[in-house]
Structure 1
Amino acid sequence: MRSSTRRSRKMGPPGLVEKRPLYVQLMKEGHSNRAACRILGINPNTGLRWLHGRNGVEGLVQQGLDPRPRKAVPATGGSSRYLSEDERIFIADRLLDGASLQSIARDLGRSPSTISRELARNRPDSRRYHPFRAQKMAQKRRPRPRLAKLAGDDELRHYVVECLSKRWSPQQVCRALKERFPGEKHRHLAHETVYRALYHLSIRPVPAGSARLLRSGKFSRRPRSRTKVKPRQYMADALKIGDRPAHIATREEAGHWEGDLILGKGNKSAIVTLVERSSRLLVAFALRPGSRSDNMRDQLIDALGVMPATLRRTLTWDRGSEMAKHAEVTAALGTLVYFCDPASPWQRASNENANGLLRQYFRKGADLSTVEQAEVRFAADEINGRPRAVLDWESATARFASLQTIAALHTKAVSDGH
């Protein structure tokens, strides 16, 4: 008698299977477990077992309530960027089965960090994960009527604009905020926050037109297009970058430079840019009008000739014809000149980066023939004075000054030895 009674209880009362879809629907409509059970006339403990996924995924599948989301199909009424209610039910069931976060993420087509954040945010008691409660908690956080940090803090906003006016990047600005407001974490920003403010994607804390404060000068994000460059032939007796000593690529030794031109309107005027690979120091000057190769030779010798020999070991250049007289530069300075491969700007990455920074001062299409040398020096000095992440937030000027000190001590030691 007892065994038959236990079997009958295990099967549950008649009609319970039909009520489970109704219970799920009531919970989705926002009813509490007790209210839904009262409407359906079932025991609240039964509702709790359904709510917490005690019977596992297979039991739901058999009843036509498959909680497993289909991959690449966004949740109904929401974005696939966020977890759906069905996904949260699936997470609860898999957790009760003892599955790992990696396996749950793999089944859902999500990142394991997404599952980890979900449990950290929406499981306040750190014990059992309740999917419907987690869904409600997520929905309460979803609306964003709150004021953005830059919009609600005048002092913070003015400081950000001040730094951007110096042509600092958003990353440099956010680094400076930690020093400007130490101990005030609510004023520390991610650089994406600054980008969004400037692009007017969601907040408008910065005056209209302020996207010009970005180096790109763009008002919105656009995919980059790759232009076709006509390959150039190597000049006679030129050293290829493949012939350059391998240790130069490590940037541990000072005195190795990269160079290029930024061209003005109609390619009739230009500014020469030189970057020291170790310190990222930028040396720039306007190329005088006339014979480009002759002026390039003379001005390069003037710019690098004032430095110690240990700080002008090599120069890596683009394949431009302005360096046709590179052999004369080598003869005058002892600086070996290497040329990059065709269409390979990444082989002069530091120089390409510096060109982009300088373009913030001298825009593409501008006539550079009217630019004074003092203007170019001012721009270079301002760039060199910025804190750089690649230099552990030291400026290029400070880093190169230490290299000059080391070079001077080396020269003195050599002269004393003689």
Structure 2
Amino acid sequence: MDNNISITNTTTPKGSHLSEKERAQIEILHKEGYSNRAIARKLNRNHQTINNEIKRGTTCQVRRQKSRKGKVYTYFSTIYSCDAGQARYNRNRLNSGRRGKYLLMKDFIKELDNLLLGRYDGFKYAPYGALKKLKPKFKDLDLPCVTTIYNWINTGITETNPIDLVKKPKLRPRKVKQETQKRCFGKSIDERPVEANLRSEIGHFEIDTIQGKKMATDKVILVLTDRKSRYNIVKVINFKTSQDVNKAILELKAEYGSKLFKTITADNGSEFSELNKVHSEVYYAHPYSPWQRGSNENNNGFLRRVITKGKAISSFPEEEIYYVSDIMNEYPRRIFNGLSAEEVFHIHYVLPSGPRVA
């Protein structure tokens, strides 16, 4: 035995695993005939740790030798290999820890993928909405949280890939564009009542239009979003003109009751230039500031999942447009702790003839 072998003797934290370097040192010392206890003292480790490691990393080697008469003799020997020990350690680490929850809920993951990929009605759900939708069906399961679902998607456990998601939040600095030539048709959003700003009651709406192809002959979707409940009201109109918008507003007042519409916040599009003729409390957002009607723009994004840009609105049946709007109103919202916009809306307001059915 060579007693002059230099081994770095450093203090190791209690409970720490052997490193690849330490395994190489164990192999050298073991070949030199050091006992397990002697190796342990050299590495400042417990002797049982060395004993367990040598057992894990010991491999069987086979050597064959052919005699002069042609007979083959086979010899077996065992030897500790630091590479074998490291490979065994890596395999054990992969199998350590608690087994993933996803292994016990294959049916849930299948249904989750169906909602995330829009296989039922072509409408893709976000992870939060899909979880709330599936909760009654899988009430006996210990369901994962939204963060866990995102982790499953990112690690490939689900069929859904990150690119398949409707959208992932991306926080980018807002660029404020100052333009002075844009006209304002009435009272500024700065004059809007405090109830509308605080979303403290039903009846304060944001308004916008959705176009398909930018053609003068194509139909347009008029969208109104209640600021408190995020409830969406849509109306298909023939043209993107102030006359058609005003006519639609009067029809909606007759359908939903004029008391519902307290204030309306619009952008500075020409189709809203005469909105004051049919409603007294109309306010206009600052030019080039769509975030001032954030709820409206967010709901437009829902509709755009099905009613895509560049495709004529006239090519969609009106029943389909109203159906998509109804799905959106029934969609579970995180901001309401899983309640839908429709549920919140009807908690605070009862329609004159009951809820509208498209």
Q: TM-score range by the shorter chain?
A: 0.5 to 0.7
Partner residue of 2:243? 294
Listed as ranges, the matches of 1:238-253 within 5 Å are 238-253=186-201
Distance, in Å, in 1 between the alignment partners of 2:113 and 2:7 is 58
Q: Which amino acid in structure 2 is aligned with residue 345 of structure 1? A: P
Cα deviation, residue 328, structure 1 = 0.5
Evaluate the alpha carbon distance shift between residue 324 and residue 159 of structure 1 in structure 2; reply closer, same or farther with a 3 A threshold.
same
Cα deviation, residue 228, structure 1 = 11
Listed as ranges, the matches of 1:4-403 within 5 Å are 18-20=6-8, 27-29=19-21, 31=23, 44-48=40-44, 140-141=93-94, 149=102, 153-154=106-107, 156-158=109-111, 160-162=113-115, 164=118, 165-166=120-121, 167=123, 168-185=125-142, 190-193=148-151, 195-196=153-154, 202=156, 205=159, 211=164, 214-215=165-166, 231=179, 233-235=181-183, 237-266=185-214, 268=216, 269=218, 270-289=220-239, 292-330=241-279, 334=280, 336-403=281-348
Spell out, residue by residue over 1:323-351, the C-alpha distance to the aligned partner (whole angstroms, 9 max, x if none).
11022022xxx4x1111122222111111
Instruction: Identify the range of structure 1 (264-273 vs 277-286) with the bigger mean alpha-carbon deviation.
Output: 264-273
Distance, in Å, in 2 between the alignment partners of 1:370 and 1:363 is 11
* Aligned residues: CA RMSD: 4.6
Distance, in Å, in 1 between the alignment partners of 2:130 and 2:94 is 29
Partner residue of 1:74? none
Q: Which amino acid in structure 1 is aligned with residue 206 of structure 2? A: E
8 Å contact kept, 1:279–1:400:
yes
Distance, in Å, in 2 between the alignment partners of 1:262 and 1:226 is 23
Evaluate the alpha carbon distance shift between residue 233 and residue 308 of structure 1 in structure 2; reply closer, same or farther with a 3 A threshold.
farther
8 Å contact kept, 1:23–1:37:
no
Distance, in Å, in 2 between the alignment partners of 1:250 and 1:23 is 61
Spell out, residue by residue over 1:64-83, the C-alpha distance to the aligned partner (whole angstroms, 9 max, x if none).
xxxxxxxxxxxxxxxxxxxx
Cα deviation, residue 356, structure 1 = 0.4
Distance, in Å, in 1 between the alignment partners of 2:91 and 2:194 is 54
Evaluate the alpha carbon distance shift between residue 380 and residue 176 of structure 1 in structure 2; reply closer, same or farther with a 3 A threshold.
closer
The answer to which structure has the higher strand fraction is: 2
Q: Which amino acid in structure 2 is aligned with residue 350 of structure 1? A: S
Count of aligned positions: 293
8 Å contact kept, 2:185–2:268:
no
Cα deviation, residue 279, structure 1 = 1.1
Spell out, residue by residue over 1:179-223, the C-alpha distance to the aligned partner (whole angstroms, 9 max, x if none).
322342377763315654xxxx735636x9x94xx546xxx9999
Higher relative contact order (CA 8 A, sep 6+): 2
8 Å contact kept, 1:265–1:366:
yes
Evaluate the alpha carbon distance shift between residue 225 and residue 373 of structure 1 in structure 2; reply closer, same or farther with a 3 A threshold.
farther
Distance, in Å, in 2 between the alignment partners of 1:223 and 1:399 is 28
8 Å contact kept, 1:262–1:272:
yes
Spell out, residue by residue over 1:303-335, the C-alpha distance to the aligned partner (whole angstroms, 9 max, x if none).
1343345421111112211111022022xxx4x
Distance, in Å, in 2 between the alignment partners of 1:257 and 1:316 is 6
Distance, in Å, in 2 between the alignment partners of 1:384 and 1:171 is 15
Q: Which runs of 5+ in 1 are unaligned?
A: 1-13, 51-132, 409-418
Cα deviation, residue 241, structure 1 = 1.1
Distance, in Å, in 1 between the alignment partners of 2:152 and 2:26 is 47
Question: Larger C-alpha radius of gyration, 1 or 2?
Answer: 2
8 Å contact kept, 2:7–2:43:
no
What is the SS of the residue equivalent to 2:128?
helix
Cα deviation, residue 357, structure 1 = 0.2
The answer to which structure has the higher helix fraction is: 1
TM-score, length basis structure 2: 0.65
Evaluate the alpha carbon distance shift between residue 204 and residue 391 of structure 1 in structure 2; reply closer, same or farther with a 3 A threshold.
closer
8 Å contact kept, 1:240–1:341:
yes
Q: Which amino acid in structure 1 is aligned with residue 285 of structure 2? A: C
Cα deviation, residue 153, structure 1 = 2.1
Distance, in Å, in 2 between the alignment partners of 1:362 and 1:151 is 37
